[in-house]
Amino acid sequence: MSRHNPTVAYVAPFVVYIALLSLQHLIPLPTVALRTLGLAIVLAVILMVSWPYVSLRPSHPLASIALGLAVFGIWIGPDLLFGYRHFWLFENALTGRAASTLAPSLQRDTFFIVIRMLTTAALVPVLEELFWRGWLMRWLVNSNNFLKVPIGTYQFTAFWLVAGLFASEHGPYWEVGLAAGILYNWWIIRTRNLADCILAHAVTNAALGTYVLVAGQWQYWL
């Protein structure tokens, strides 16, 4: 199906993931079971629908890793240096609060932690990069046939709209989400390789997840 409808290949994993997160409160299953089921479903979508379009061969692996670590530093830096996260501009009715919704029991559940780390460090970078920089950034340039737009093509409106929308999905962390979106967009333009953005994004998420676990800063896992 994905070979005949590339839009589905790029968009489906992201849409399914967001839908599962939005509907999880309606499904009468424990959180661990829900997260495990969600991981399995989205992984199946990627393998069955999106795999022909997934690139896992970065052209600049060391630089991508460095960029991922830099974005991680940007993510936690403001809170460590200035502690302004609870200011109304970041915590409000629209963005929500920078506080974890995880029950204390889940913070001590090894199996849940493994599933959460796999999701955040391996799954989310693939589905988000497919959607944001693999599809939307190109679709905004040519909505009739986005495949005609080479990956990494710069167009002002597409660049900043994707960065802004990427920021909006990060709630009270929208300003560091915006910085991350700008840097990931810049990196896809520099490398013209989706795998480099996937790697950078994965490093950021893995580093942030490790920081959450080591430092007990659970508010980063909303």
Residue among 118, 115, 137, 122 at smallest CA distance from 199 = 122
pLDDT at position 147, please?
A: 96
* Residue 1 reports pLDDT greater than 60: no
- Per-residue pLDDT averaged across 90-94, rounded? 95
pLDDT at position 15, please?
A: 97
Residue given tokens 């989310």 in the structure block: 124
Report pLDDT digits (tens) over 198-212: 999 999 999 999 999
pLDDT-based confidence at residue 3 (cuts at 50, 70, 90): low
- Per-residue pLDDT averaged across 98-113, rounded? 93
pLDDT at position 96, please?
A: 95
Handedness of CA 26, 29, 30, 32 (dihedral sign): negative
- Per-residue pLDDT averaged across 31-50, rounded? 95
Query: What are the beta bridge partners of residue 92?
Result: 96
pLDDT at position 25, please?
A: 83
pLDDT at position 4, please?
A: 61
Report pLDDT digits (tens) over 142-167: 999 999 999 999 999 999 999 999 99
Report pLDDT digits (tens) over 45-60: 999 999 999 989 999 9
pLDDT at position 49, please?
A: 95
Contact 66, 201 (CB under 8 A): no
- Per-residue pLDDT averaged across 127-144, rounded? 98
Contact 59, 195 (CB under 8 A): yes
Contact 220, 208 (CB under 8 A): yes
The backbone region for 152, taken as left when phi is positive above 0, alpha when psi lies in -120 to 50, beta otherwise, is left
* Residue 110 reports pLDDT greater than 90: yes
Neighbours of 33 (CB within 10 A): 13
- Per-residue pLDDT averaged across 132-141, rounded? 98
Residue given tokens 């660049």 in the structure block: 159
Residues 140 and 131: their CA atoms lie apart, in Å, by 12
